[in-house]
Amino acid sequence: MSLFRSGPPSGEEDDAPFPAGTGLPAEHDPHDPWPGRRAPALETTGLGRRYRGAWALRDCSLAVPAGRVAAVVGPNGAGKTTLLRTAVGLLAPTTGQVRVFGRPAGESPAGIAFLAQGKPLYPGFRVREMLRFGRGLNPRWDEEAARRRLAGLGIPLERRVGSLSGGQRTQVALTLALAKQPDLLVLDEPLADLDPLARHDVMRSLMEAVAETGLSVLLSSHVVSELEGACDWLLVVNGGRVQVSGDIDDLLTGHRVLTGPAEAADALAARLPVISREETGRQATLLVRAAASPPDPRWSSRPAPLEEIVLAYLRSPGLSSLPRPSLTPAR
Ligand SMILES: Nc1ncnc2c1ncn2[C@@H]1O[C@H](COP(=O)(O)OP(=O)(O)OP(=O)(O)O)[C@@H](O)[C@H]1O
């Protein structure tokens, strides 16, 4: 179980009631495909996005349950930003559909806050002015919570944004996003350019906000090691395709690293889905999709850390992805 999990345990999402004030589809909505049930925060079917001649995203079908903190990871140019921007309705899909809390992206009545890559703030503005700006633009603005948060972080309202450290600027940007009281918070690489301590502080304060409000979060990052324990859903995007989409606890319990004699590796691989395989002399090390150790005593087995699982998938882009959640309700 992730430390900061905010949603119900895996498998129970379908029966979760609508939380009050989430802006989710009303139960009386005749077009609501999820009557009486909580729609996924994000659902895409056959999503593709082309820039001029080149596809940045192809055939992406996934569902992230509501109330989750989902990490979107993948190498440079994988399509993470494109996925996030289509989710918030800033980019129209070339193919397929994107739904946010059950409604087409861009039409969803849910509150969405998007923190774009590079912390877009005005360096010449004082923090107080940024707050005033946000207050004027957002009807759901929570000024008191924003000021309390900044005070707790020791960020003075009179400071100019340009004079803040990278970590403090991220915290201000996050505070402005949270003050909108969104149902879905989308953060594009909020940890980029931060030192390890600042990354930890930003993740911790994000998780505190999630624990207080129960909002859904989509967060892209390259720093897989710092997402474990904070995020509870993982999307691996690679070469424009979603390779993995699943509950992090399920991924961790569903993969193992096996070490044993190289001559027995083929037989093992015939029985278990192998994600990666390395051989050193007579010894083979395999990352397999399996919840238990093989009965063969020649094989030793250990759990696979999340980073190792992610890297193994990224190194095998042609590999079939994990089963995606089938959250589409029976009709
Ligand atoms: N506006 C654009 N015009 C043309 N091509 C683009 C545009 N935006 C992105 N691309 C291309 O689409 C692909 C996916 O880009 P995207 O920014 O979504 O990847 P990313 O995973 O967010 O990368 P990074 O981790 O480097 O930020 C890349 O090949 C990129 O060059």
Q: Residue 259 above 60 pLDDT?
A: yes
- List pLDDT tens digits, range 133-186: 999 988 889 999 999 999 988 999 999 999 998 888 988 998 999 999 999 999
Å from CA of 240 to ligand 1 middle: 9
ipTM, 2 dp: 0.98
Cα 7 from Cα 216, distance rounded (Å): 9
Of all protein residues, whose CA lies closest to atom 11 belonging to ligand 1? 56
Å from CA of 194 to ligand 1 middle: 22
290: confidence class by pLDDT, cuts 50, 70, 90: confident
Q: What structural domains and CATH numbers belong to the chain?
A: 13-244 (3.40.50.300), 251-315 (3.30.70)
Instruction: List the alpha helices (DSSP H) in the chain.
Output: 80-87, 127-137, 143-153, 166-179, 196-213, 248-253, 265-271, 306-315
Strand, helix or coil for residue 279: strand
Which atom of ligand 1 is nearest the CA belonging to 75?
A: 25
Testing ligand 1's pocket by substitution, the residue of 50, 51, 219 carrying the most ligand atoms inside 8 A of its CB is 51
Strands (E), 2-143: 42-51, 54-64, 69-73, 95-100, 103-104, 112-115
Q: Residue 210 above 60 pLDDT?
A: yes
Task: Report strand pairing: 255-261 vs 241-247.
Answer: unpaired
- List pLDDT tens digits, range 164-179: 988 889 889 989 999 9
Cα 294 from Cα 300, distance rounded (Å): 9
Of all protein residues, whose CA lies closest to atom 18 belonging to ligand 1? 79
63: confidence class by pLDDT, cuts 50, 70, 90: very high
Q: Residue 24 above 50 pLDDT?
A: no
Q: Residue 287 above 90 pLDDT?
A: yes
**Burial of 76 by CB count in 10 Å (0-12 exposed, 13-18 middle, 19+ buried)?**
exposed
Q: Residue 33 above 60 pLDDT?
A: no
